[in-house]
């Protein structure tokens, strides 16, 4: 088995990122949080928030009118693709810092960024708040960078598996990881996705194929395969539950306090 050797710069970045995360954990200040989206993720976020000494002052479920308590220090949105933009806009217009992990709406992200700048607000977005997924993305980027110089391994495919309640496909995380690959490999400039048992589509030479599966109550699995005629190299991240995502979302809310602008996991962890 080969050994993956990272550079001293990468090791220092990783240590610095994890130290920043530990600092966020140590230095958290009690907040009052409003949750928009009170399904499985909303409940998991509430449990983590309470365990860290925060108070949940609002729980807004699907179909309910969005009313945010004036005492709210942070809004955490895990709603639905068709409601997320309006939820975020309403919260920002009210002057509240917003954390969002809802996927399937980000074609309007530029509008949110303009609103944040115009109103000097604070917004944190990630398609996946898991620290493990963030590290997985780094490994995929490094692998893609290596494979870009090895044309025999330029045949890349992705697969993502989620629970049957997930409405959009491919997952926001899969698109983010695909973007990491596209940024490092000259061959690819676009993606194409197909769902479940649909016939495998034909793809152009520059298209990265993503296969989306919806099965049972799977929290989330993402796989990347770099193939050659002789073998295949696979990288995989599997979440065992929602707790890691929930912790990341609460840490993001803590991170936003006193800040202005748009942020993501890279900003919170300082890990390039």
Alpha-carbon span 262 to 180, nearest angstrom: 20
Burial of 131 from C-beta contacts in 10 A (0-12 / 13-18 / 19+): buried
The number of C-alpha atoms within 13 Å of 185 and in the hemisphere containing its C-beta is 32
Q: Determine which one of 162, 211, 222, 237 is catalytic.
A: 162
Based on the residue annotation, tell me whether 259 is a catalytic residue of this protein: no
Q: How many CB atoms lie within 10 A of CB 69?
A: 13
Q: How many CB atoms lie within 10 A of CB 166?
A: 17
Based on the residue annotation, tell me whether 237 is a catalytic residue of this protein: no
Longest dimension (CA), the chain: 61
Alpha-carbon span 9 to 135, nearest angstrom: 15
Q: Determine which one of 16, 32, 166, 260 is catalytic.
A: 166
Name the residues annotated as catalytic.
162, 166
């Amino acid at each position: 088995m080969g050994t993956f050797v990272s550079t001293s710069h990468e090791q220092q970045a990783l240590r610095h990122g994890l130290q920043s995360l530990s600092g966020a954990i140590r230095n958290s200040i009690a907040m009052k949080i409003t949750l928009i989206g009170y399904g499985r993720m909303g409940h998991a976020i509430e449990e983590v928030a309470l365990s860290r000494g925060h108070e949940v002052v609002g729980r807004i479920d699907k179909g309910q009118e969005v009313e945010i308590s004036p005492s709210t220090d942070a809004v955490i949105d895990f709603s639905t693709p068709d409601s997320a933009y309006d939820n975020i806009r309403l919260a920002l217009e009210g002057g509240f810092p917003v954390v969002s992990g809802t996927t399937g709406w980000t074609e309007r992200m530029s509008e949110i960024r303009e609103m944040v700048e115009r109103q000097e607000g604070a917004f944190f977005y990630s398609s996946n708040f898991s620290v493990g997924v963030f590290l997985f993305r780094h490994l995929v980027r490094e692998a893609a960078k290596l494979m870009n110089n090895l044309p025999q391994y330029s045949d890349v495919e992705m697969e993502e598996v989620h629970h049957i309640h997930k409405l959009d496909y491919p997952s926001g995380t899969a698109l983010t990881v695909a973007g990491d690959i596209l940024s490092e490999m000259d061959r690819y400039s676009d993606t194409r996705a197909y769902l479940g048992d649909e016939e495998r589509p034909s793809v152009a030479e520059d298209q990265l194929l993503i296969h989306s599966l919806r099965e049972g109550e799977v929290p989330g699995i993402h796989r990347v395969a770099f193939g050659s005629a002789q073998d295949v190299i696979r990288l995989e991240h599997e979440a065992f539950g929602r707790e890691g995502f929930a912790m990341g979302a609460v840490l993001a809310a803590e991170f936003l306090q006193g800040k202005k602008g748009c942020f993501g996991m890279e900003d919170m962890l300082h890990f390039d």
